[in-house]
Amino acid sequence: SNSFCTLLVSMSRSITLAAAGCSKMQSFATTLLGKATGNAVALAPGAAAGAAAAIAIGEAPAGAHTVVTTAPEAKPALYKDSNVAFVRAVLPAAADQLPLRDLVDVYPASGIPCDAEIAQVKASFAKTAQTAVDLAKKNGNKLTVLVKQATKHARINELFEEAITEASAGSGVAVDFVGSAQVSNTLIMFPETLGVVAAADTASAENAEAMYASLVG
């Protein structure tokens, strides 16, 4: 079969399910409690035992930061003129904590400092943004950035837009920030009008990427 996905570093692994009371959940709870209280309060072993809850925790390979999806050489006739490179950020997601894309918005909303997490996101997004800009230079000098307007990942979107703006400054690449619905529609109806599409690490980006891959793969 044709391969439509090229990883610059690596793709995030499959989601693992962890229930309250297990070591992963207890570790996350300990981290959260420590950040919220400045380590003034500790979680005693077994304190969460018996809690009826579940949480999805993804784990990305060490060093992963970007995944690029392109069409195979043998494309369906309907998409024979498509030359889109879909560039999606992949933020670190250790097995013992919530993904960074969640923490960066969840922590501040709970009044918990997350300077270290934001620094990690910025460093990772800078690499993805540079990858997108470099590809755009070879693909019409045009970069479309997918933005989910109504989202719980407001801070993630903001940080990604900042990274794209910084990476594209003085590059000669025209950057257009477009809503996720419009980008998805264009990928389906007029993909030949797009060059490089870049997106932050969000569920909307994953869905759009998977849709494009299914259309051209």
Strand partners, 143: 175, 196
**Per-residue pLDDT, 85:** 94
Decide if pLDDT at 23 tops 70.
no
Output 23 or 153, whichever has higher pLDDT.
Answer: 153
- Tens of pLDDT, residue by residue over 63-109, are 778 999 998 888 888 888 899 999 999 988 776 777 888 888 888 88
**Per-residue pLDDT, 1:** 37
**pTM for the full predicted model:** 0.71
**Per-residue pLDDT, 159:** 95
- Tens of pLDDT, residue by residue over 163-202, are 999 999 999 999 999 999 999 999 999 999 999 999 999 8
C-alpha span between 179 and 199 (Å, rounded): 11
Output 97 or 49, whichever has higher pLDDT.
Answer: 97
**Per-residue pLDDT, 107:** 84
Average pLDDT, the chain: 76
The answer to whether residues 131 and 138 touch, using CB atoms and an 8 Å cutoff, is: no
Output 40 or 119, whichever has higher pLDDT.
Answer: 119
**Per-residue pLDDT, 105:** 84
Decide if pLDDT at 29 tops 70.
no
Q: What is the DSSP string of 16-67?
A: EEEETTSHHHHHHHHHHHHHHHTTSS-PPTTTTTT---EEEE--PPTT--EE
- HEC string for 115-130: HHHHHHHHHHHHHHHH
Token pair of 205 as six digits: 């980006």
The answer to whether residues 169 and 129 touch, using CB atoms and an 8 Å cutoff, is: no
